[in-house]
Structure 1
Amino acid sequence: MTLKELDFQSLRQQIVGIDTPIQTPFGERLMLYADYTASGRSLHFIENYLLELQKLYANSHTEDDLSGRFTTQLLHQAEAIIKRAVNAGPDGRIIACGSGATGAIDRVQQLLGVKLPAASRSLLEELLIGFLGNEQYRALHQHIEAHRPVVFVGPYEHHSNEISWRESLATVVEVRMDVDGSIDLTHLEQLLAAQAYRGRLRIGSFSAASNVTGMRSPVADIARLL
């Protein structure tokens, strides 16, 4: 089966568990899954393909044996496909995170130097207060608040692209929604020019689309403003 052969009904029949019965207060019913905005269901043709790959799967980046060469070639092919999809070019780099969008955002925050777990923050505050005293620590805290990085997010972000920023060293500023339900580009432009954020590291972190409504963001326009 090829993707071109898949219509909606054919794709539906490929869902793992599509005909699974469950017990309800009204007797046995077929399960109705309605949480695709959180996690999609597995598909038979994808799982079958993965099982085929498992036959020769091994650790990548070793070419001492057939299985190692096979997996390394698959990895390089996958990287090339991803680069083409995002227009990364030959000099682009891919960093594998392994835990979806949440892992990717977490890695970006680490690379930008704004990642600070709650326990680390509490320990650091305790050490600084013990060394500086309350009055000098308050002055230091005010200085940090006025100069810490600022991240601009959209009005319909996935939790992984908002809550994690609020727990970081960055100040989170939400760009409002326009009358059409999209990101207000005029508001974003005003925020980028605001005196309060000048001289600070400014980060834009916007979803390409809402995972709830499907509203697509004007990615190219946002990139030009940033």
Structure 2
Amino acid sequence: MRDLHTDFVGLQTPWTTAVGRTGPRTYLDSAATTLAMRSALARREQLLLHYGSPHTALNAASNLCVEALRRAQETVLRFFGFPPDEYHCVFVGSGATAALNRAAAMLSRLHRDRPGVALSMMEHHSNDLPHRQACETVCHIPLMPDGGVDLAALERELAQHRAGYVALTACSNVTGALTPITEVAALVHRHGVHLLVDGSQLAVHRRLEAPTAIDAFVFCGHKAYAPGTPGVLIVRKALHDAAGPIELGGGMVHRVSQHGFELATDMAQRTHAGTPDVLGAFQIAMVLSRLQAHGFDQVIAHEQALTRRLLDRFQAMPDALIVYGDPDPSKRVGVVSFNLRGLEHPLVAWALAHCFNITVRHGCFCAQPYVRELLGVGQALDEPGEEAAQPGMVRASIGAYTTAQDIDTLVGALSDISAHPDHYARWFRASLAEDAQGRGRHRLVGQLDAICSMD
């Protein structure tokens, strides 16, 4: 089997920059979406040779797919340390967003006397907006100066008996800051409410703290080396049954008449309304199996070493660069957001992509309240129709395929952009003008046409 660091699709794909250089890109956007693990894709292709609808129980292909789904569920639970007799694993729609919407709908039903939720200020919109819709009241817990959750403020909120559950990210997608899950869980349960953890940024980068103290846990395949696969909701079986079905469909019922319906007795069946994404679930499980076989602690150590290298390089550039979050790599995953002094974040991201072939992210990363807080620009929204420039940052994020050379390439590029800001600003403005004329889009359409061709 190929080395883990090279077991990913797209690492060697040639891209041509605006300055005419062609070569593989430096991919530092894993917090947005990861590259696909090649060996897991190969296992998925093998399963596809035998694929059949899991709802057709009297043929071999169907039974094989039912078993594949069951094994995928067991593999996911075992990887994170959730006991299969207490927890169930559900594969849900469009990534973590779908799983978090289901979790919000479910948990909000369980405490009718406490129709609120407590969130942190650093949540991704996917772990914020669904709760605003499901709950009557939402409290955003402030953060400490180091970016961590203010546990004293959380306890004060829980003492008001307004929140039926707490929803927190395991680590920030902006700063990589880790949440002390063990401490939070003890506090939450002391007040008799439930804990939902969004593990999208943690799942394949760090071990999960205190899994059996968590009531519901969410992550997504596309941030776990399996793009194109569903979201994952792990939930206590007792809570899932107490809340009742959130979605209804053909695959989850035993009997239906004009006067009512009876749910299937098998939990794996009644939690998936419609035909489950067996192939996607299986691909996620194969990724986790591969990480385990390689040695997950080695993966973690590799990423921590690169995070330290990146932060050390950035700290050596204080006059050129601002880094957000705790500089201690042991307190964060490999997600580092920054700004070059005096330069707008879109310009920096464009220059990295189009002049140096480095893929990063810029903006607010679907965490606008947190980014605004870190930038000190306030929380007020612009007036309707007002076109104000969105504040933001540039973000580099690390995966299992990231190398020391990738880090050094990024730092070298940023040093050059910082040293020649006017030069890159002129290129950036020229590129915007070209895009306005549609020429940049035409080149991309041509590339896509070649990919789509069936000749």
Distance in 2 between the 1:169 and 1:202 partners? 9
Shift of 1:98: 2.5
- CA 1:83 to 1:14, structure 2 compared with 1: closer, same or farther past 3 Å? closer
Classify the secondary structure of the residue corresponding to 2:99: helix
Shift of 1:89: 3.9
Distance in 2 between the 1:59 and 1:52 partners? 16
Shift of 1:71: 1.0
Q: Are the equivalent residues in 2 in contact too, given 1:148–1:201 (CA < 8 A)?
A: yes
- CA 1:156 to 1:82, structure 2 compared with 1: closer, same or farther past 3 Å? same
The equivalent position to 1:27 in structure 2, one of 15, 20, 26, is 20
Is 1:65 equivalent to 2:44 in the alignment?
A: no
The residue aligned with 1:192 is 158
Is 1:53 equivalent to 2:15 in the alignment?
A: no
Q: Are the equivalent residues in 2 in contact too, given 1:62–1:72 (CA < 8 A)?
A: no
The equivalent position to 2:34 in structure 1, one of 9, 19, 40, is 40
Q: Which has the higher contact order (CA 8 A, sep 6+)?
A: 2
Shift of 1:166: 3.2
The residue aligned with 1:16 is 9
Classify the secondary structure of the residue corresponding to 1:224: helix
Distance in 2 between the 1:177 and 1:94 partners? 31
- Cα RMSD after superposing both structures: 2.4
The equivalent position to 1:150 in structure 2, one of 89, 93, 116, is 116
The equivalent position to 2:103 in structure 1, one of 102, 105, 108, is 108
Q: Are the equivalent residues in 2 in contact too, given 1:148–1:170 (CA < 8 A)?
A: no
Is 1:224 equivalent to 2:186 in the alignment?
A: yes
In the TM superposition, what are the counterparts of 1:67-216 in structure 2 within 5 Å? 67-84=61-78, 85-112=80-107, 149-194=115-160, 198=161, 200-216=162-178
Shift of 1:88: 4.0
Shift of 1:201: 4.6
Classify the secondary structure of the residue corresponding to 2:87: coil
Shift of 1:193: 1.4
Shift of 1:12: 3.5
Percent sequence identity is: 30
**Which segments of 5 or more consecutive residues in structure 1 lack a partner in the other structure?**
115-146
Q: How big is each residue's C-alpha offset from its partner over 1:17-41, in whole Å with a ceiling of 9 and x where there is no partner?
A: 1122222221033323332111111
Structure having the larger proportion of residues in strand: 2
Shift of 1:113: 5.1
TM-score by length of 1: 0.70
Runs of 4+ in structure 1 off by over 6 angstroms are none
Distance in 2 between the 1:153 and 1:201 partners? 10
Q: Are the equivalent residues in 1 in contact too, given 2:77–2:84 (CA < 8 A)?
A: yes
Amino acid at match of 2:120: G
Shift of 1:54: 0.8
| Number of aligned residues | 183
Q: Are the equivalent residues in 2 in contact too, given 1:12–1:18 (CA < 8 A)?
A: no
Shift of 1:82: 2.8
Classify the secondary structure of the residue corresponding to 2:40: helix
Q: How big is each residue's C-alpha offset from its partner over 1:164-197, in whole Å with a ceiling of 9 and x where there is no partner?
A: 3334443221222224332121111111113xxx
Q: Are the equivalent residues in 2 in contact too, given 1:209–1:216 (CA < 8 A)?
A: yes
Q: Are the equivalent residues in 2 in contact too, given 1:101–1:160 (CA < 8 A)?
A: yes
Distance in 2 between the 1:183 and 1:113 partners? 22
Q: How big is each residue's C-alpha offset from its partner over 1:68-93, in whole Å with a ceiling of 9 and x where there is no partner?
A: 12111111112222333342441433
Q: Are the equivalent residues in 1 in contact too, given 2:55–2:62 (CA < 8 A)?
A: yes
- CA 1:175 to 1:86, structure 2 compared with 1: closer, same or farther past 3 Å? farther
- CA 1:59 to 1:42, structure 2 compared with 1: closer, same or farther past 3 Å? same
TM-score by length of 2: 0.37
The residue aligned with 1:132 is none
Structure having the larger proportion of residues in helix: 1
Q: Are the equivalent residues in 2 in contact too, given 1:148–1:169 (CA < 8 A)?
A: no
Q: Are the equivalent residues in 2 in contact too, given 1:208–1:219 (CA < 8 A)?
A: yes
Q: Are the equivalent residues in 1 in contact too, given 2:108–2:115 (CA < 8 A)?
A: no
